[in-house]
Amino acid sequence: MKQQASVMGATENLVPDTRHGVILYMENVSVSFDGFKALNDLNLYINDGELRCLIGANGAGKTTLMDVITGKTRPDQGKVNFGQQIDLLKLNEAEIAQAGIGRKFQKPTVFEALSVYENLYLSLKMDKGIWCSLWHKLNGEQKDDIERILATIGLTEQRHGLAGNLSHGQKQWLEIGMLLAAKPRVLLVDEPVAGMTLQETERTAELLTSLAGEHSVVVVEHDMSFVRSIARTVTVLHQGSVLAEGTMAQIQSHPDVKRVYLGEEST
């Protein structure tokens, strides 16, 4: 236990070094499952504070990419760094989360048996060891943080209701709120508007754009109109590597993208 605590303490003190303006480095990353190359020699750099959209067909490697960054999947080769100096491949999921990378899943996953308030409480950035959790009491600052997030995600009224009783869209927001509570440097958001109504989608777009700057936000999304409404830089993944990168207009006129998406796919 003691050893564990010291390891966690160490990661908490690590602040990613972003002097070069880049917060996430992925270099020559490859992952294969039974011979299928989910990621193939991928190179990707996310700048500090930017909002980046990742698009690509099914199987292009979007979710695998997120799995690699958050420690769920280990790559066969390559380098994944948080800032210049933190090697994410040496940390486990919990340590990566504590270092400041938050992730929202494709399917909204919140703690259904707990209240909205408790969901945010558990997500707050703080010592996450057992001993601390046994005796923990919220202080004023933390309560303010929760209130602020409740207001941001529009769930102030539902605060004491069970998370399991929220609508699909509300669960998506709660999950984004949980990410915010952890005060991450990087937010990885997997299909945030899947199954949302038009209004909900608009609000989510506003929310995500307002988060960029203070946080770096990486969004994976299929909904092209949504991507167009929020994106400044778009990266297109194809067969496990980066096909094109640029503004939406650049992407749409990119010859490789046209070739792949207009059916002239080479084998």
Partner 1 sequence: MKNFMALFATPVQRVTGILAIVTLYVTLANGLLPPDSFLYVSDYSVTLLGKYLCYALLALSVDLVWGYCGILSLGHGAFFALGGYAMGMYLMRQIGDRGVYGNADLPDFMVFLNWDVLPWFWAGSDSFIWMVVMVVLAPGLLAYIFGVMAFRSRVSGVYLSIMTQAMTYALLLAFFRNEMGFGGNNGLTDFKDILGYSLQSGSTRLSLFIITAVVLWLAFFICNRIVNSKAGKIVMAIRDAENRSRFVGYNTASYKVALFTFSAVLAGIAGALYVPQVGIINPGEFSPINSIEMVIWVAIGGRGTLYGAIVGALVVSYAKTRFTAIMPEAWLFALGGLFVLVTLLLPKGLVGLWPTLKAKAQQLWPKTKEQAL
Which residue from 114, 194, 212, 224 is in contact with partner 1, where contact means CB under 8 A? 114
Question: Which residue, 123 or 216, is less far from partner 1 as judged by CB?
Answer: 123
- 109 near partner 1 (CB under 8 A): yes
42-50, 134-142, 198-206, 246-254 -> range binding partner 1 (CB under 8 A): 134-142
Q: How far is the CB of 105 from partner 1 (least distance, A)?
A: 7
Determine how many CB atoms are found less than 10 A away from the CB of residue 192. 28
> Which residue's entry shows tokens 């236990």?
1
CA neighbor of 215 nearest in space, from 250, 186, 181, 236: 186
Q: What is the spatial order of strands in the sheet that 22-33 belongs to?
A: 36-47, 22-33, 77-82, 86-87
35-43, 106-114, 222-230, 252-260 -> range binding partner 1 (CB under 8 A): 106-114
CA neighbor of 41 nearest in space, from 87, 76, 66: 76
First-to-last alpha carbon distance for the chain, in angstroms, is 52
**Interaction residues for partner 1, span 190-249 (CB under 8 A):** none
The interface mask with partner 1, positions 72-91, x = CB under 8 A, is x-------------------
**Interaction residues for partner 1, span 158-187 (CB under 8 A):** 178, 182
38-46, 80-88, 114-122, 149-157 -> range binding partner 1 (CB under 8 A): 114-122
Annotate 175-228 with three-state secondary structure. HHHHHHHCCCCEEEEECCCCCCCHHHHHHHHHHHHHHECCEEEEEECCCHHHHH
Question: Which residue, 163 or 234, is less far from partner 1 as judged by CB?
Answer: 163
Question: Which residue, 57 or 114, is less far from partner 1 as judged by CB?
Answer: 114
> Which residue's entry shows tokens 């952890």?
182
Q: How far is the CB of 236 from partner 1 (least distance, A)?
A: 26
Q: Cβ distance 144 to 178 under 8 Å?
A: no
Backbone φ and ψ for 189, nearest 5 degrees, come out as -120, 115
16-24, 31-39, 109-117, 194-202 -> range binding partner 1 (CB under 8 A): 109-117
- 136 near partner 1 (CB under 8 A): yes
- CA atoms of 175 and 177, how far apart (whole Å): 5
Question: Which residue, 41 or 118, is less far from partner 1 as judged by CB?
Answer: 118
List residues binding partner 1 (CB under 8 A).
1, 4, 8, 70, 72, 92-94, 97-98, 102-103, 105, 109-114, 118, 121-123, 128-130, 133-136, 178, 182
